[in-house]
């Protein structure tokens, strides 16, 4: 038996339905766009654009050593330095944001490093996988009093949070002349920290990363409280 055809909807109904579909589509795109921005908030250009939408809070650049470049030091069981560096950098940046500062996580050779301006900059690395060695070390370029103060604050806070001793005898020229510290703007206070030895300090670096991140964040905040306090009322 032939099917009885259904009359098409009136033109007004089609128009109304089309408008609703279009509104839903726009709303969905807006939500997806917002989620993408939140995901990309670690990317410098996105983070800076988002800062421009609101108040100008003090900015901290947190470089995750070897990220998006290579593995860094590797232990015999396959533990990679870059894994520790990135986890600690992300946690330290989050702690800073929670205290009212803007913080962005940068890869080792970010295109933004040249002339990079921030209220503070810290590059996070770990030392080689040698048993019998323990301790951290912090270095900065010579000639900057602000970087020297940042170094002192980070060193003091890190020792307090982690209980590790300073290991200055193994500070190398590569640390003192670290490429990122030479690339950032001369007005940006910057340091590089080796958070510990992946051999002797392995448990701290892998199982107690919150303590590592707290030490770094507290040192940066101690420095910034004197030079660039967080915005009042920030989370």
Q: How many domains does the chain have?
A: 2
Q: Indicate whether 65 and 31 sit together in one domain.
A: no
Q: Indicate whether 19 and 130 sit together in one domain.
A: no
Q: Is residue 234 part of a domain?
A: no
Mean pLDDT in residue range 50-73 = 85
DSSP lists the bridge partners of residue 93 as none
pLDDT, tens digit (0-9, with 9 covering 90-100), for 84-94: 999 999 999 99
Q: Is residue 167 part of a domain?
A: yes
Q: Is residue 79 part of a domain?
A: yes
Q: Is residue 67 part of a domain?
A: yes
Q: Is residue 2 part of a domain?
A: no
Q: Indicate whether 123 and 160 sit together in one domain.
A: yes
Confidence of residue 205 (pLDDT cuts 50, 70, 90): very high
Q: Answer whether residue 66 shows pLDDT above 60.
A: yes
* Structure token digits, residue 7: 């009359």
Q: Is residue 74 part of a domain?
A: yes
Q: Indicate whether 82 and 151 sit together in one domain.
A: yes
Q: Is residue 6 part of a domain?
A: no
Q: Indicate whether 28 and 126 sit together in one domain.
A: no
As a whole number of Å, the CA-based R_g of the chain is: 24
pLDDT at residue 96, rounded to an integer: 98
pLDDT at residue 188, rounded to an integer: 98
Q: Name the residue range of residue 35's domain.
A: 11-42
Three-state SS annotation for the chain: CCCCCCCCCCHHHHHHHHHHHHHHHHHHHHHHHHHHHHHHHHCHHHHHHHHHCCCCCCEEEEEECCCCCCCCCECCCCCEHHHHHHHHHHHHHHHHHHCCCEEEEECCCCCCCCCCCCCEEEEEEEECCCCCCCCEEEECCCCCHHHHHHHHHHHHHHHHHHCCCECHHHCCHHHHCCHHHHHCCCCCCEEEEEEEECCCCHHHHHHCHHHHHHHHHHHHHHHHHHHCCCCCCCC
* Structure token digits, residue 199: 């051999």
Residues 128 and 86: beta-carbon distance below 8 Å: no
Q: Indicate whether 84 and 150 sit together in one domain.
A: yes
Give every CB contact of residue 171 below 8 A, 6+ residues apart in sequence.
137, 139
Mean pLDDT in residue range 57-74 = 98
What CATH number should be reported for the domain holding residue 205? 3.40.630.40
Q: Is residue 123 part of a domain?
A: yes
Mean pLDDT in residue range 106-130 = 98
């Amino acid at each position: 038996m032939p099917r009885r055809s259904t009359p098409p909807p009136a033109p007004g109904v089609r128009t109304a339905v089309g408008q609703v579909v279009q509104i839903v589509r726009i709303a969905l795109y807006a939500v997806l766009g917002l989620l993408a921005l939140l995901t990309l908030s670690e990317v410098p250009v996105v983070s800076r654009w988002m800062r421009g939408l609101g108040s100008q809070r003090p900015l901290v650049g947190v470089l995750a050593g070897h990220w998006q470049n290579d593995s860094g030091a590797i232990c015999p069981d396959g533990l990679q330095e870059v894994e520790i560096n990135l986890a600690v950098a992300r946690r330290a940046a989050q702690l800073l944001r929670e205290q009212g500062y803007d913080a962005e996580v940068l890869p080792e050779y970010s295109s933004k490093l040249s002339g990079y301006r921030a209220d503070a900059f810290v590059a996070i690395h770990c030392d080689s996988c040698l048993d019998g060695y323990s301790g951290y070390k912090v270095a900065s370029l010579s000639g900057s009093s602000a970087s020297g103060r940042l170094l002192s604050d980070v060193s003091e806070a890190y020792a307090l949070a982690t209980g590790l001793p300073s290991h200055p005898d193994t500070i190398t020229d590569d640390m003192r002349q670290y490429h990122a510290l030479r690339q950032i703007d001369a007005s940006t206070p910057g340091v590089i920290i080796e958070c510990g030895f992946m051999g002797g300090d392995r448990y701290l670096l892998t199982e107690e990363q919150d303590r590592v991140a707290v030490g770094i964040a507290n040192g940066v905040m101690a420095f910034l409280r004197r030079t660039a306090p967080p915005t009042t009322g920030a989370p």
